Amino acid sequence: MAKRTIAQFFSTLLYNPYLSNLTGGRISREWTKNICVPGLNCYSCPAAAAACPLGSLQSFFSGAVPKFPAYVLGTMLLFGLLLGRVICGWACPFGFLQELLHKLPGPKLKKSKLTQKLSRLKYLWAVVFVLILPFAFFFMTGIGVPAFCKFICPAGTLEGAVPLLSFNPMLRSAAGWLTVWKFSLLAVFLILMIFIYRPFCRWFCPLGAFYGLLNKYALLGITVNASSCIHCGKCAAVCKMDTKIAGDHECISCGSCISSCPTQAIQFHRLSNKNNESSKT
């Protein structure tokens, strides 16, 4: 667990190395912004060194970028096939924040059949806010709207809007109902993070939904030896994510299940065993 925390911390710094820009009140324009990082990290963050793949993808779907984003999709596929949701558990700044806030004292909502059903919602948000609404706005009005980034994404609000509005009076004076909505939504998410383990990651994140689809094929991650597994369910019981078995599409490879397995069937593999159907479900 200590290794994962260190990885999360340094990933956050790697994504956002320009800390001195935070008080500048403007979006950084470094050439590295043409590159996508694997995790959820807002392009508009003054400290950010690169772009968020989700935001870059929406730029095309909203019509803001006329060319097909082969580079962005290719990068996302590469990240997904190499790492899957290891990215969520080890290299996502917003996931790291959720875990830190969840360490604060207070009652905690436990995983249940209900939370497992709620985990399907992130696929709905991905389809509606990343695909359908951006296209719909563009075809109806001719003006593209990156719907998820604009109306939902709390990471963008925290990393982009908060520092920009704090140090830019002109932007602050132009703030309206959308700013109030985004800040209110951010506040709700931050409160939920104290009582619910990674609520945004589990139920709302389109990027996590995409990586979850590729988790089965990822080269790095948690695997289960089918011949040793006795289907006792202890791995799912100890997991705070909405997994049904270690290594499935909800698994972020945090490793908490490894020591819980009575037959030592669970391992963190660098190369997943593709012939083992139970290793990635």
What's the token pair of residue 201?
A: 């990651």
Which H or E run includes 268? Answer: strand 266-269
Say whether both 55 and 146 belong to one domain. Answer: yes
Secondary structure (3-state) at 225: coil
| Residue appearing with tokens 């104290």 | 194
Q: Within this chain, do residues 240 and 130 fall inside the same structural domain, yes or no?
A: no
Quote the pLDDT of residue 278: 47
Task: Tell me what pLDDT residue 145 has.
Answer: 85
Q: Give yes or no: residues 144 and 248 share one domain.
A: no
Give me 231's structure tokens: 């289907």
Residue 278 · residue 226 · CB < 8 Å: yes
Tell whether 91 and 66 lie within a shared domain: yes
30 belongs to a structural domain: yes
Provide the residue range defining the domain that includes 262.
219-269
Q: How far apart are CA 243 and CA 150, in angstroms?
A: 30
What pLDDT was estimated at residue 2? 86
- Of 256, 259, 271, 281, the C-alpha closest to 4 is 256
Q: Is 261 among the domain residues?
A: yes
* Gap between the Cα atoms of 184 and 247, Å rounded: 34
Structural domain contains residue 94: yes
260 lies in the same domain as 151: no
For residues 17, 20, 26, 32, the Cα torsion angle rounded to the nearest 10 degrees is: -30
CA–CA separation, 80 and 180 (whole Å): 34
In a domain, 99, yes or no: yes
Are 223 and 207 members of one domain? no
Residue 132: CB atoms within 10 Å:
13
Are residue 253 and residue 124 in the same domain, yes or no? no
Kindly give the confidence (pLDDT) of every residue in the chain, 281 residues in length, as a single tens digit, with 9 standing for 90 and above: 689 999 999 999 999 999 999 998 889 888 889 899 999 999 999 999 999 999 888 877 666 555 667 888 899 999 999 999 999 999 999 999 999 999 999 999 999 999 999 999 999 999 999 989 988 888 888 777 889 999 999 999 999 999 999 999 999 999 999 999 999 999 999 999 999 999 999 999 999 999 999 999 999 999 999 999 999 999 999 999 999 999 999 999 999 999 999 999 999 986 545 444 445 55
Domain boundary among the residues 211, 227, 256 is at: 211
**Are 182 and 256 members of one domain?**
no
User: Does residue 26 lie within any of the structural domains?
Assistant: yes
* Overall number of domains in the chain: 2
Contacts of 49 (CB under 8 A, 6+ apart): 14, 15, 16, 17, 18, 28, 30, 32, 33, 37
Residue for token digits 């935001």?
55
Burial 159-176 (b: 16+ CB within 10 A, else e): bbbbbbbebeeeeeeeee
CA distance 28 to 43: 9
CATH assignment at residue 257: 3.30.70.20
Cβ contact 146:72 at 8 Å:
no
**Would residue 276 count as lying in a domain?**
no
Q: Torsions phi, psi of 142, nearest 5?
A: 80, 0
Name the pairing type of β-strands 221-224 and 266-269. antiparallel
Residues 176, 39 share a domain: yes
Are 169 and 235 in a shared domain? no
